[in-house]
Structure 1
């Protein structure tokens, strides 16, 4: 059996199944526990910028001598990663440009390889074993099943030479487990760096009023309180972006995690009114006009691929009905900000960012990474435009959130302090 995690225990959460609760008090910003990844994989687009082993981003990484693709801080990192990298090393060379497994298939390959060699519980399984993670396999629809079949085919094509694969049914189970329980490792601006699986962290249930936040220190997950917690309180994270109104949040939860949230916010819908705010007009806007505009906004967001003109046209059209605080307007403004950055128009990007941050502060819970990452983007843009005092102010606001979410000694905070000192 296992020693568990100090201050935290597994229990049966009413209406939710198994979960975690605290056995002692925790203050805002206090670390409940840290968990190394059972298995993880660096995103292909980060290759060359980040170490494959520890995810450190720096210049002058050393390339693997065989494939010339994977990069490492030093020999120590390269040796530590070899058991996983060898699954890909020769295959990347053999397939060349045709080597293109999904990130999910790459992670599953690593999980299977680790299971084969594992002799005892890992440090990421103090409470829950990897095979006991929930799969929701019976809930998967045909479209998702087809996608999984493609991933399974990719696994066979790219990894079967170096890996004894289990039978088809067992493979489908592992892919379903990872789909429901995989975590995206993100940097300080919430850019995707890779994917990982943490069995103990997978026990934490969802709430739209979370009590903790998950951040990353290298490839380890750190769970910190964002509310004061007393013994017996359930440990709750948010599985989704909390900006959106209740129906949208629950559609996403049902689609990805197969449940409907019944937290106090979902019952009261207290923020929905401001999240779906419409313009004040002399003639009240008919409900069917609002409903049609919600459908239009959702469709536009789903299909959003074009650049600046589409953003501005959409904002103009939606802005005739929706208030600037409306989350569909905020979503489109955020996309427009990204487009402006891509097109090297920092002034316009700042203008969008300033509009967004005003409402993010009201709509997101305290200590939200969505808020801190936007302050970071704005702060760095201000600095770029030689607006130093307002830039430092924005970076300080990001830092105040990050000190709670990441802990005061996190690498990101140290780097941010250096960045501010140089300005």
Structure 2
């Protein structure tokens, strides 16, 4: 493990998402990625803006595949000393015609003590629902772990499938609850880190049991070794932050099952380096993870709140760079379960913390594909400060070139805001509008529900 960690690629640029959030959790983000994609063509006419003021259901087409396609039809990875790994268009991409990229998380978890922790399945991220369309009044899921009382499920099927992870994290969760040395956001980071090292453990076990160990190496699936190639920005974190990471690593080493740790650290050298390796993994998560944010319907048709309810690590999405005038936007997909929940196997494909990157304007062949890691309606000074402090880079997009009073950058950003930012009358939304089936859909104030 140490050999892989010490050879991390340190040239990539930070990147991640989220437009506007209320109640966002502390962040983690960066970027580096491939691409996948399936395309869906539609006839483009004068679009109608659809947001929470309209009483319509907006559906992501069910025909889209959630499988990763490394040989993408419309995008590819390039690398340079200045940008690190980044994504460009293989061919012309029309606004609203293409899902540029679609990916499920490598690891994902709910925020610790999230207000909606009992209304969203901790395994499949399916939403609890009733005919009222209000998440605030829906009944809680009842299935949960009786030992730690932290994880909740929509069905026996999800609880059983999550056991492969939860049996290794449950004791640490229980100890974490009573610990006063970590705040809520830090405990969320601990949850995600646990998922990551459990993923490593399971891959090691799978390979040791495999009749053909080389088959896992040849697989196109994302593996733990791929995660180790993501940017760490280790030398850019403050001493205080590294100290916090070290406290977390000591806590995990103390609470994790010793037999579990022996699989991850089979040699004395790896045992000694375990805490340092965890610190590097936390840097990777801090620079590359994404908030999982849903638009939660409230008690009235025109009422909504946009909540960060979890956090996930998306390997491929880490390769898209940031721009304050992006040409794609990110949509988190969710699924509503009917009430009451059936004890039978839940029928749906994939994890519904899946996100899609959707083209919001025409993209030319060889043009870089980028999305926004932060709220683009912030002032230039605030955007630059946020990107520097959270993602450790200086933005050089068309909206940020030159000094604060640069007329070209001011004009570029104003034009983008006017054309692509939601101006919902129901609240201060500032989400990004994307075309879908002759409509303009806000990626924040309109829930995207798979049915």
Q: TM-score range by the shorter chain?
A: 0.5 to 0.7
1:86 aligns to 2:167 (yes or no): yes
Q: Could you tell me how far 1:225 is from its partner in structure 2?
A: 1.1
Aligned partner of 1:146 among 243, 268, 271: 243
Q: Do the aligned partners of residues 262 and 73 (structure 1) sit closer, same or farther apart at CA in structure 2, a change above 3 Å counting?
A: same
What is residue 412 of structure 1 aligned with on the other side? 447
Q: How many residues align?
A: 310
What is residue 84 of structure 2 aligned with on the other side? 17
Distance 1:63 1:209 in 2: 43
Q: Could you tell me how far 1:142 is from its partner in structure 2?
A: 1.1
Distance 1:405 1:153 in 2: 49
Q: Could you tell me how far 1:40 is from its partner in structure 2?
A: 0.5
1:76 aligns to 2:157 (yes or no): yes
Q: Could you tell me how far 1:255 is from its partner in structure 2?
A: 1.5
Distance 1:124 1:406 in 2: 32
Q: Could you tell me how far 1:262 is from its partner in structure 2?
A: 1.1
1:50 aligns to 2:128 (yes or no): no
What is residue 258 of structure 1 aligned with on the other side? 392
Runs (5+) with no aligned partner, structure 2: 1-68, 129-138, 208-215, 266-273, 296-304, 334-351
Relative to its length, the structure with more helix (as a share) is 1
Q: Could you tell me how far 1:3 is from its partner in structure 2?
A: 3.9
After superposition, what is the alpha-carbon deviation per residue over 1:214-268, rounded to whole angstroms, capped at 9, x for unaligned?
2211211211112211221111111222222223222222222221111111115
Contact 1:376 1:398 in 2 (8 A): no
Aligned partner of 2:188 among 75, 92, 103: 103
Distance 2:168 2:440 in 1: 34
The alignment yields a C-alpha RMSD, in angstroms, of 3.9
What is residue 100 of structure 2 aligned with on the other side? 32
Distance 1:78 1:139 in 2: 39
1:203 aligns to 2:319 (yes or no): yes
Contact 1:213 1:405 in 2 (8 A): no
Q: Could you tell me how far 1:271 is from its partner in structure 2?
A: 8.4
After TM superposition, the structure 1 stretch with the greater mean CA deviation from structure 2, 262-271 or 100-109, is 262-271
Q: Could you tell me how far 1:22 is from its partner in structure 2?
A: 1.5
Contact 1:105 1:154 in 2 (8 A): no
Contact 1:66 1:89 in 2 (8 A): no
* TM-score, normalised with respect to structure 2: 0.59
Q: Which has the larger radius of gyration?
A: 1
Distance 2:431 2:371 in 1: 20
Q: Could you tell me how far 1:93 is from its partner in structure 2?
A: 4.8
Q: Do the aligned partners of residues 52 and 20 (structure 1) sit closer, same or farther apart at CA in structure 2, a change above 3 Å counting?
A: same
What is residue 296 of structure 1 aligned with on the other side? none
1:41 aligns to 2:122 (yes or no): no
1:216 aligns to 2:338 (yes or no): no
After superposition, what is the alpha-carbon deviation per residue over 1:299-318, rounded to whole angstroms, capped at 9, x for unaligned?
xxxxxxxxxxxxxxxxxxxx
Relative to its length, the structure with more strand (as a share) is 2
After TM superposition, the structure 1 stretch with the greater mean CA deviation from structure 2, 4-13 or 264-273, is 264-273
Distance 1:124 1:213 in 2: 24
* TM-score, normalised with respect to structure 1: 0.63
Q: Could you tell me how far 1:123 is from its partner in structure 2?
A: 6.9
What is residue 292 of structure 1 aligned with on the other side? none
Q: Could you tell me how far 1:198 is from its partner in structure 2?
A: 0.6
Q: Do the aligned partners of residues 363 and 31 (structure 1) sit closer, same or farther apart at CA in structure 2, a change above 3 Å counting?
A: closer
Which residues of 2 match residues 266-285 of structure 1 at below 5 A?
Answer: 266-267=400-401
Runs (5+) with no aligned partner, structure 1: 277-359, 379-393, 419-423
Contact 1:35 1:124 in 2 (8 A): no
Distance 1:70 1:91 in 2: 13
